[in-house]
Structure 1
Amino acid sequence: MCGIVGLIDLESQRPVDRELLEQMNQTQIHRGPDGEGVYLAPGLGLAHRRLAIIDLAGSAQPMSTPDGRVTVTYNGEIYNFKELRRELKAQGYLFRTQGDTEVILYAWLAWGEACVKRLRGIFAFGLWDEAQKVLFLARDPLGVKPLYYAPFADGWLGFASELKALKKHPKLDRRLDLEAVEEYLAFGYVPDPKTIYRGAFKLPPGHTLTVRPGQPLGEPVCYWDVRFAPTVRDAREAAQGLIAHLKQAVKMQLVADVPVGAFLSGGVDSSAVVAMMAGLMDRPVEACSIAFGDPAFNETEYAKEVAGRYGARLCVYQVDPDDFSLLERLSGLYDEPYADSSALPTYRVCELARQQVKVVLSGDGGDENFAGYRRYRWHLYEERLRAWLPLSLRRPLFGLLGRLYPKLDFAPRFLRAKSTLESLARDSVEGYFHSVAVLGDGLRAKLYSASFKKALAGYRAVSVFYRHLEKAPPHPLSRVQYLDFKTYLPGDILTKVDRASMAHSLEVRVPILDPGLVEWVAGLAPELKLRGGEGKYVFKKALEPYLPERVLYRPKMGFAVPLASWFRGPLRDRVRAALLGERMLDTGWFNPAFLRTLVEQHQLGLRDFSAPIWALLMLEAFLRQN
């Protein structure tokens, strides 16, 4: 992986401020400690920080064609670069390097903007065509690699791998976007295309942006989207095809000139990746895992069993249950408010992995692809009842029951029906939004001040879902999977892993999110993914010859952080100082009385508000550092 930066004059061809460009580039040194480069032309500057993975001695960037017509700064890996190289050679293009970067240059010359449809990998790049006077920005189909851009007040446009590089530019409009604040407090992250700043944007996954100096800045163009169109309904056929596609994806992503390892949590997804790797490699897999003190969240025994079965060398990192030393580090790492607390152990496992290897394969994407989240199952249960009772009856009935039913945070799960009742009082999209929200509509309504509500002018974060609904498939399971592909996956999961890994100069690859595999899985009938309450049904069936039954069919776990106990114990005073202090109140966004209620009810053990408190804590840390 690497870090990229660029500046282009949208109005004329003023000289680039090289010192500023280099300062922006240096903010991303963690993404590329192995080398750096700068390219300057009239009205244009491109910069690069390199993490050398392929063609270690060559492929320095920014890279230009021999005639200087095309120049690129690029972050990522093109897994099919050897096949494309052969195809382009047959068309007469001559290559000087052994890497994948040069393939992008000639793919542009051969196929123009359609070149991105030929690239199979994870990438974000900025490409300048001197002959056409065009800057072409592109991001990979699933959004594994990030790309930010910002039109500045002085007529320049900048782009970068991370927001911190754009923040170095003195003309960035750093006023906070209040709609983005609403989205953050609902989702726990700011979904694309927004950022927390009014003047900066994320290029959405599977999109390109063509910039022509002297012309108005256009809108991003979509070149790839996941299409749920079921064609395979036979479980045996699906299982056989699935293993073939997964093996192919893993094989492609093993291409590197440095050692490649794996994350191995002991869950189904990472175990599947390690099983495929073991069958394709001529040396033991270097695997990394996290161990938790709480046995309810400790998957180490399963990771050890899978590692033993495949002769993998497993390195385990024991997480301190009170490891909250990273709080300040995390708030700076993500550049904008980000509230997934599993970023803490993710940071630690990346730190561990980098001591062993430079590249790892992860199991990310399995839940979105194969319907592994518990919320999918509950959504289908709710949809059956929505189909039976019209909204005109459900809204008053379940709305009343939801208001009357007590919030039993500490009761057994089957007694915690309040959220389900509240969801049933809503339509399908609003109900799913309610199930994923960090702070639901009711909490946010109590939290916000009258002036903040007025400033929002009725805007609600659920609008993000409605924006994507037009292209969403009709089946209720596929529809919410699609919404997660457009929001949760790039905004939360992939953002978490990219920043945590690149903080340690570690490249993470995601074979389960190979676009070819994703497209094939989208062609499976929904009942092959979720059947009889069993998520990842066909995935688990396909893996039965490869993994133990107790690994495949045990309850789902995850990276758990003891937030609730932290906020009542060692971080008690810190929470009160942050959430009830002047900085939060001075925003004018919040109702002070409800902030105090939120904190006190949690710390007295009356409610579990750990997720909302964490989100607000990360927001306060951002405001303090901004």
Structure 2
Amino acid sequence: MCGIAGSYKFKDALSEMLHAGAMADAIAYRGPDARGVMQLGDCIFAHRRLAIIDLDHAADQPILSADKNCMITFNGEIYNYRELRRKLESQGALFRTGSDTEVILQLYQFCGADALDQLDGMFALAIFDQNRRELILMRDRLGKKPLYYTITNEKQLIFASTLHALKQHPACPGELNCEAIHDFLACSYIPGNGSVYRQVQQLPVASIMRVYPDGSSEIKKYWAPDYSQKTDLSFEDAAVILREKLHLAAARRLIADVPCGVFLSGGIDSALIAMLAARHADKKLNAFTIGFEQKNYDERDLAATTVQWVNAHTAHGLQHHTQIVDCRSFEVLQHLAEVYGEPFADFSMLPTYFLSRFAAQHNKLVLSGDGADELFGGYERYQAMRYCDRLQKKLPRGVINLMAASAGALFKDHGKRSKLSRLHRFLQLAGTPVGERYARLMLHTTAKIRQQIYGERLPLNQLPDCGRFINQALQNVTTTQKSERFAECDLATYLPWDILTKVDRASMAASLEVRSPFLDREVVEFAASLPFEYKQQGKQRKVILKHALLDHLAPEILQQRKRGFAVPIGHWFRTAWQDKLKTHLLEGRLIQDNWMNRAGLEQLIKIHQSCRQDHSELLGNLLMLELFLEKN
């Protein structure tokens, strides 16, 4: 895992080398093992390396081809690089290193850009071809690794792994994107392929971009999962195949020249990955768990149960490492606001960062359980959408809305996760028109609240519908199964824009590589082919996943309800962070620069802190926007 940066079509090579070096230095934490800057023709690449495969310095990047015609800088891992290497060697390729990076470069030289879709892994890369004077940028299938770019008025293209790095280049435009900020306040992340800066884009997932000598460019999508073609396999046969694919995915992700560990919580997904990894490891693996003083959030005992189970059923087992942390560190939150490079407010980034920092004391590489919920129907919201349909068939929408209003008046706020609050939100959702329902579920602002808090910099009559990305994704789904539409939508939106962004930035801030076996290409494609009733049945979720790996789970873990990496920010905003919240929101850049209306913000904070309503998500979004503005 690494960090990359570079530029194409510049005027002054000496200055550009310095700018590339500055971009690389800004992401030194992503690659503390080596630094490189290289020029080929009118292209300059920079690289920071976290050495995982082929630790020799001969594999440091950027790498120049033997004929000195092509140059590459690469961030990530290619899991099928050994198979590709053997294929290339049979065609006469000669290799100078054992790295997967050189395999990519040789694959391009022998087979062309169209062959790069053979890469199976998590990555963002850039290749420059001097003969063709063509730059290629590429990103992995699911968006595990980031890649931002901008094209200046002078047709210079500048790219980097993070916005913070890109901003080190003086030619990078810094005008803030009002639409992106509007979207962020609703989503907790910036959706789509734009960024918080108006003229900076993110390369779409599963896409390859070709930039030509005349300054023109084209972006082509090279992959998408197909949910339309369902397998005719029986449930039992499908479970057997799924089991085989998951074992293969875990084994692939253990390939490294450094020891591997696992993230371990009290949930099913990480427990399965721990068992899969231990089955294929040739030595004891480190397992990392963080605990909390608040018992409702502490999963150390459940994680210990998994460790005991794995140790009793594998040859080498797990070495369990635990640490109690206090996620209420405001200084860490401010640090993460800088690391993420743009507003981001999934507050599970806090425990993810603390866990990554803890694991990085022992390992450079870990496996995680990310992706299982999107692929195997793990989210309760998919069931909620089904129940909404049923209720609307039985009762008129007007009656449902009256019930929701009555519930809101009767139920004093008990926090987002309380049964009463969940019932109130469900009734609100059920009364929403079908076409708007999923966007309303996923968004954290309403037109009424926006009218109350927005300032002059966010003119409501000029801003688009902040649910448009979700609604567009729902229109583009390939599945014909109604309940599965939302899972396919999440794979294209929530997974890359929230989950994978959170994990990449938080783990790389600790110089730790995280691999996700559930997000293996073959697993994803097979999961897409499964009927949704194999995944959710009644109140049961992830049915086929649990069945396929039933003997991999301790019975106590199998019976656990879904647990997120949630943190009680709503409570903190009323207690430990109460004063900081008021100071930053009411005396900071949000008010000074007219992004927000002070009276509206004061009212929002007052309502939340009096427990009349829970505005945790929106206040969290506003706080992270303020912390971003303070740094930029």
TM-score by length of 2: 0.94
Q: Aligned partners of 2:247 and 2:378: how far apart in 1?
A: 20
Q: 1:542: Cα distance to partner? A: 1.6
SS of 1:573 mapped into structure 2: helix
- Equivalent residue for 2:248? 248
Q: Aligned partners of 1:471 and 1:603: how far apart in 2?
A: 40
Instruction: Give 1:567's match in structure 2, choosing from 573, 577, 597.
Output: 573
Tell me which moved more, 304-313 or 336-345. 304-313
- Equivalent residue for 1:468? 473
> Could you tell me which amino acid in structure 2 is paired with residue 47 of structure 1?
A
> Could you tell me which amino acid in structure 2 is paired with residue 134 of structure 1?
E
Residues 20-40 of structure 1: CA deviation (Å, up to 9, x unaligned): 111111101111111111111
Residue 17 to residue 173, structure 1, CA distance change in 2 (3 Å): same
- Number of positions where the alignment pairs a residue of Structure 1 with one of Structure 2: 619
Q: 1:605: Cα distance to partner? A: 2.4
Residue 474 to residue 290, structure 1, CA distance change in 2 (3 Å): same
Contact 1:423 1:430 survives alignment (8 Å): no
Q: Aligned partners of 1:357 and 1:332: how far apart in 2?
A: 24
- Equivalent residue for 1:51? 50
Q: Aligned partners of 2:191 and 2:234: how far apart in 1?
A: 36
> Could you tell me which amino acid in structure 2 is paired with residue 138 of structure 1?
M
Tell me which moved more, 403-412 or 258-267. 403-412
Instruction: Please tell me whether residue 63 in structure 1 is matched to residue 63 in structure 2.
Output: yes
Q: Aligned partners of 2:525 and 2:369: how far apart in 1?
A: 17
The 5 A counterparts of 1:328-367 are 328-367=334-373
> Could you tell me which amino acid in structure 2 is paired with residue 518 of structure 1?
V
- Equivalent residue for 1:262? 262
SS of 1:426 mapped into structure 2: coil
Q: 1:257: Cα distance to partner? A: 0.4
Instruction: Please tell me whether residue 183 in structure 1 is matched to residue 188 in structure 2.
Output: no
Contact 1:333 1:499 survives alignment (8 Å): yes
Q: 1:182: Cα distance to partner? A: 1.4
Q: Aligned partners of 1:238 and 1:270: how far apart in 2?
A: 22
Residues 425-461 of structure 1: CA deviation (Å, up to 9, x unaligned): 333342111112133444334332477234x525011
Q: 1:387: Cα distance to partner? A: 6.1
Q: Aligned partners of 1:403 and 1:414: how far apart in 2?
A: 13
- Equivalent residue for 2:408? 406
Residues 364-417 of structure 1: CA deviation (Å, up to 9, x unaligned): 11111111111111012113345677xxx63x5544544454163318515643
Q: Aligned partners of 2:233 and 2:296: how far apart in 1?
A: 36
- Unaligned stretches of 5+ residues in structure 2: 312-317
Instruction: Please tell me whether residue 22 in structure 1 is matched to residue 21 in structure 2.
Output: yes
Q: 1:418: Cα distance to partner? A: 3.2
Contact 2:47 2:62 survives alignment (8 Å): yes
TM-score by length of 1: 0.95
Tell me which moved more, 404-413 or 510-519. 404-413
SS of 1:496 mapped into structure 2: helix
Q: Aligned partners of 1:94 and 1:388: how far apart in 2?
A: 69
Contact 2:193 2:202 survives alignment (8 Å): yes
Q: 1:469: Cα distance to partner? A: 3.0
Instruction: Give 2:607's match in structure 1, choosing from 585, 592, 601.
Output: 601
Tell me which moved more, 268-277 or 35-44. 35-44
> Could you tell me which amino acid in structure 2 is paired with residue 53 of structure 1?
I
SS of 1:578 mapped into structure 2: helix
Tell me which moved more, 528-537 or 540-549. 540-549
- Equivalent residue for 1:99? 99
Q: Which runs of 4+ in 1 moved over 6 A?
A: 12-15
Tell me which moved more, 539-548 or 616-625. 539-548
- Equivalent residue for 1:109? 109
Q: Aligned partners of 2:216 and 2:174: how far apart in 1?
A: 22
- Unaligned stretches of 5+ residues in structure 1: none
Q: Aligned partners of 1:251 and 1:286: how far apart in 2?
A: 16
Q: Aligned partners of 1:480 and 1:82: how far apart in 2?
A: 36
> Could you tell me which amino acid in structure 2 is paired with residue 246 of structure 1?
L
Residue 591 to residue 145, structure 1, CA distance change in 2 (3 Å): same
SS of 2:98 mapped into structure 1: coil
> Could you tell me which amino acid in structure 1 is paired with residue 96 of structure 2?
R
- Equivalent residue for 2:387? 381
Q: Aligned partners of 2:620 and 2:286: how far apart in 1?
A: 34
Residues 81-139 of structure 1: CA deviation (Å, up to 9, x unaligned): 01000111111111111111111012112332222321111110000111221101000
- Equivalent residue for 1:305? 305
Instruction: Please tell me whether residue 616 in structure 1 is matched to residue 622 in structure 2.
Output: yes
Contact 1:134 1:213 survives alignment (8 Å): yes
> Could you tell me which amino acid in structure 1 is paired with residue 472 of structure 2?
R
Q: Aligned partners of 1:576 and 1:225: how far apart in 2?
A: 44
Instruction: Please tell me whether residue 549 in structure 1 is matched to residue 555 in structure 2.
Output: yes
Q: 1:560: Cα distance to partner? A: 2.7
Residues 453-492 of structure 1: CA deviation (Å, up to 9, x unaligned): 34x5250111112332342023222211121111111111
The 5 A counterparts of 1:435-474 are 435-449=441-455, 452-454=458-460, 457-472=462-477, 473-474=479-480
Q: Aligned partners of 1:590 and 1:157: how far apart in 2?
A: 34
- Equivalent residue for 1:31? 30
Tell me which moved more, 581-590 or 39-48. 581-590
- Equivalent residue for 1:82? 82
Identity %: 37
Residue 184 to residue 362, structure 1, CA distance change in 2 (3 Å): same
Q: 1:275: Cα distance to partner? A: 0.6
Residues 48-73 of structure 1: CA deviation (Å, up to 9, x unaligned): 11111111113121112110121100
Q: Aligned partners of 1:263 and 1:436: how far apart in 2?
A: 27
- Equivalent residue for 1:498? 504
> Could you tell me which amino acid in structure 1 is paired with residue 244 of structure 2?
A
Q: Aligned partners of 1:262 and 1:602: how far apart in 2?
A: 38
Residues 284-333 of structure 1: CA deviation (Å, up to 9, x unaligned): 12110111222222221121111112221010111226444312111111
Residue 96 to residue 446, structure 1, CA distance change in 2 (3 Å): same
Q: Aligned partners of 2:298 and 2:450: how far apart in 1?
A: 33
Q: Aligned partners of 2:532 and 2:83: how far apart in 1?
A: 33
Q: Aligned partners of 1:174 and 1:405: how far apart in 2?
A: 46
Q: 1:521: Cα distance to partner? A: 0.8
Q: Aligned partners of 2:588 and 2:265: how far apart in 1?
A: 41
Q: Aligned partners of 1:80 and 1:186: how far apart in 2?
A: 39
Residue 251 to residue 119, structure 1, CA distance change in 2 (3 Å): same
Contact 2:474 2:486 survives alignment (8 Å): no
